[in-house]
């Protein structure tokens, strides 16, 4: 028994009536009801109402001078609340504590920078500077509890499938591929550096080569990238896993099982059990992105061929995509003007559209430029019906980068998105290589350690732009949650793949020495994936700010105002690691 408390709020209920107890927590609020004082005492588990009656003048006078958010220890007797004071919104709403003593454990010595209760919107920079106070607030406190429960269940889920939890190093080697590294200077080895891992990629492949069958880890990852709404600055966590002796279909089955289990455990929304598999190419053409929100039923149609001989100059020598929307005849001109304004806001020079009349003709500014053959082709390609509208998005890029944004905006404005549903899918068959105009060479499109479909034969004989990789993402409601691949475990294929992007065998030997050497000794076929924990929690909690599910995040500029970092270090510290600042 603690000297500060005998019970927490979650341990007290109607069965506790009549018991002499001691509780401890923060003074969240107090209410004076004409000589009777009510205190709301908040601990980690909930809230307990404490009552001080007018017959205890000394305690009443003492309590009236307490400061909000003081840490208190209170002794008293549990009693049943009167019917008119029952609060069904809290777990202790049927009982209260009749206080007989109060001890102040600590009190604020400065005014609070913001109210803990009631919950109000506070500027983010203030919240992050006083994060320890922000985390006292119910919403944020519950978010972190939810995160802990999620990770606990994820760990239990993986262990139930015989995955072995193994920790991989935080100090490792810098990689020439991927995002920008955080580097750490070496004290013992002048002018040499460690890097914080962008992911445990190489280590988990080495674990498969070490004879382990199934690995997982709640892995911290570090990337020196700018923050976004769904990506915090500096670091993030992923559920990282890898399996030996598996193929791509095994990984589809595993990914589907893990994601379905997590979503159904922590959400009451509808979740599809079978995940569609959509090729990268089809996704880019039909949805304008490799992260499609499949709750939106609108699809993009390629109309480029319809305008190959067009008299309409803006549609010449570009890709033209169309989005057909049924039954828009009731929309006002101002509604369409809002679409035009949105198109301008994302950088489009404009957006065209035509409406199909009851006699099969079109109405709209573009119609006068169309030939009868072009009108016929548009009807066939888009399947537009009377009262429907066909929106045109023209762009110089192959996959028409604006079409996805217009599709999303139409889905929002037309209320087509089912907010009570999670729709998951696999995006598969990513290109292995892509052309880099700036460097005049091919680069890896995604993970350089993926197995090319067709193996060595494809690398030697296929057009490089047609070679696909055994890579896959799992996307939910327009957000990429999982990325994975079947790994390239053949050293000769790996050497050839790296040669194509300009890395000779010496680069493999020096920059990827561990894999290069390990793969000389019969590595098994293996594959894996990584689930972004922070992003998934964002979706489950339904917050638009990833910082809301992280206890101590950096701000968007990579600064921790609470810890005052990054900060300068002493000259001695710099000398120890052989660094001179310029």
> Structural domains in the chain?
9-106 (2.40.50.140), 129-263+524-582 (3.30.930.10), 296-417 (3.30.1360.30)
Note the pLDDT of residue 365: 83
pLDDT in the model for residue 177: 60
In this prediction, residue 232 carries a pLDDT of 84
What is the per-residue pLDDT for 277?
98
Burial class (CB in 10 A: 0-12, 13-18, 19+), 4: middle
CB 276 within 8 A of CB 472: no
Note the helical H segments in 83-137: 124-129, 131-134
Please list the alpha-helical segments (H only) found in 95-137.
Answer: 124-129, 131-134
- Residues 451 and 251: their CA atoms lie apart, in Å, by 14
pLDDT of residue 155: 98
CA 221 vs CA 215, 225, 555: distances in Å: 17, 12, 17
Would you call 399 exposed, middle or buried from its count of C-beta atoms within 10 A (0-12, 13-18, 19+)? Answer: buried
Q: Are the C-beta atoms of 240 and 204 separated by less than 8 Å?
A: yes
* Distances from the Cα of 489 to the Cα of 70, 246, 328, angstroms: 60, 12, 54
Per-residue pLDDT of the chain (582 residues; tens, 9 = 90+): 689 999 999 999 999 999 999 999 999 999 988 889 999 999 999 999 999 988 889 999 999 999 999 999 999 999 999 998 899 999 999 999 999 999 999 999 999 999 999 989 999 999 999 999 999 999 999 999 999 999 999 999 999 999 999 999 999 988 766 688 999 999 999 999 999 999 999 999 999 999 999 999 999 999 998 887 777 888 999 999 999 999 999 999 999 999 999 999 999 999 999 999 999 999 999 999 999 999 999 999 999 999 988 888 888 888 999 999 999 888 888 999 999 999 999 999 889 899 998 888 898 888 888 888 989 999 999 999 999 999 999 988 878 789 999 999 999 999 999 999 999 999 999 999 999 888 889 999 888 899 999 999 999 999 999 999 999 999 999 999 999 999 999 999 999 999 999 988 998 888 889 999 999 999 999 999 999 999 999 999 999 899 999 999 999 999 999 999 999 999 999 999 999 988
How far, in Å, are 352, 422, 547 from residue 479 at the CA level?
28, 11, 17
In 3D space, the residue among 99, 93, 105 whose CA is nearest the CA of residue 48 turns out to be: 93
Report the distance separating Cα 489 and Cα 526, nearest Å: 7
SS3 298: coil
Strands (E), 247-311: 270-271, 276-279, 300-302
């Amino acid at each position: 028994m603690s000297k500060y408390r005998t019970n927490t709020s979650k341990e007290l209920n109607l069965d506790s009536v009549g018991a002499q107890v001691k509780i401890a927590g923060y003074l969240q609020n107090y209410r004076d009801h004409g000589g009777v004082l009510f205190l709301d005492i908040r601990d980690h588990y909930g809230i307990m109402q404490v009552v001080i009656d007018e017959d205890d003048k000394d305690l009443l006078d003492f309590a009236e001078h307490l400061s909000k958010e003081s840490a208190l220890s209170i002794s008293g007797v549990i009693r049943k609340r009167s019917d008119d004071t029952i609060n069904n919104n809290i777990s202790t709403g049927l009982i209260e504590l009749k206080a007989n003593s109060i001890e102040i454990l600590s009190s604020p010595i400065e005014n609070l920078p913001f109210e803990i209760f009631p919950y109000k919107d506070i500027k983010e920079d203030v919240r992050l500077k006083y994060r320890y106070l922000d985390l006292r607030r119910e919403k944020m406190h519950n978010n972190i509890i939810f995160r802990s429960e999620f990770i606990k269940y994820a760990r239990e889920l993986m262990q139930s499938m015989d995955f072995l939890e193994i920790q991989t190093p935080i100090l490792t080697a810098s990689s020439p591929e991927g995002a920008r590294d955080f580097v750490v200077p070496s004290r013992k080895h002048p002018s040499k550096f460690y890097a914080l891992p962008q992911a445990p990629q190489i280590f988990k492949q080495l674990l498969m080569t070490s004879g382990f069958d199934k690995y997982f880890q709640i892995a911290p990852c570090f990337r020196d990238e700018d923050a976004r709404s769904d990506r915090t600055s500096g670091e993030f966590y992923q559920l990282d896993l890898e399996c030996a002796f598996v193929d791509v279909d095994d990984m589809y089955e595993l990914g589907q099982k893990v994601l379905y289990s997590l979503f159904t455990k922590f959400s009451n929304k509808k979740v599809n059990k079978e995940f569609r598999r959509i090729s990268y190419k089809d996704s880019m053409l039909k949805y304008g992105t490799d992260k499609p929100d499949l709750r939106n039923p609108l699809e993009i149609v390629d109309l480029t061929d319809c305008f190959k001989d067009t008299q309409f100059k803006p549609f010449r020598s570009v890709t033209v995509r169309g989005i057909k929307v049924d039954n828009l005849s009731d929309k006002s001109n101002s509604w369409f003007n809002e679409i035009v304004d949105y198109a301008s806001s994302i950088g489009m020079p404009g957006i065209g559209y035509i409406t199909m009349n009851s006699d099969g003709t079109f109405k709209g500014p573009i119609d006068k430029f169309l030939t009868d053959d072009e009108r016929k082709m548009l009807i066939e390609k888009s399947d537009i019906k009377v009262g429907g509208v066909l929106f045109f998005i023209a762009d110089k890029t192959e996959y028409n980068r604006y079409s996805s944004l217009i599709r999303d905006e139409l889905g929002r404005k037309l209320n087509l998105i089912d907010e009570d549903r999670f729709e998951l899918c696999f995006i598969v068959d990513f290109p292995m290589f892509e052309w880099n105009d700036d460097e005049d060479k091919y680069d890896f499109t995604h993970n350089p350690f993926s197995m090319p479909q067709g193996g060595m034969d494809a690398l030697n004989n296929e057009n490089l732009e047609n070679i696909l990789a055994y890579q896959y993402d799992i996307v939910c409601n327009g957000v990429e949650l999982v990325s994975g691949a079947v790994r390239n475990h053949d050293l000769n294929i790996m050497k050839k793949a790296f040669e194509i992007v300009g890395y000779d065998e010496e680069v493999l030997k020096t920059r990827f020495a561990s894999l290069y050497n390990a793969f000389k000794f019969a590595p098994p076929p293996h594959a894996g994936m990584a689930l972004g924990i922070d992003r998934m929690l964002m979706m489950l909690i339904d917050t638009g700010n990833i910082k809301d599910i992280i206890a101590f995040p950096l701000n968007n500029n990579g600064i921790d105002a609470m810890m005052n970092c990054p900060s300068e270090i002493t000259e001695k510290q710099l000398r120890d690691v052989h660094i001179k600042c310029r």
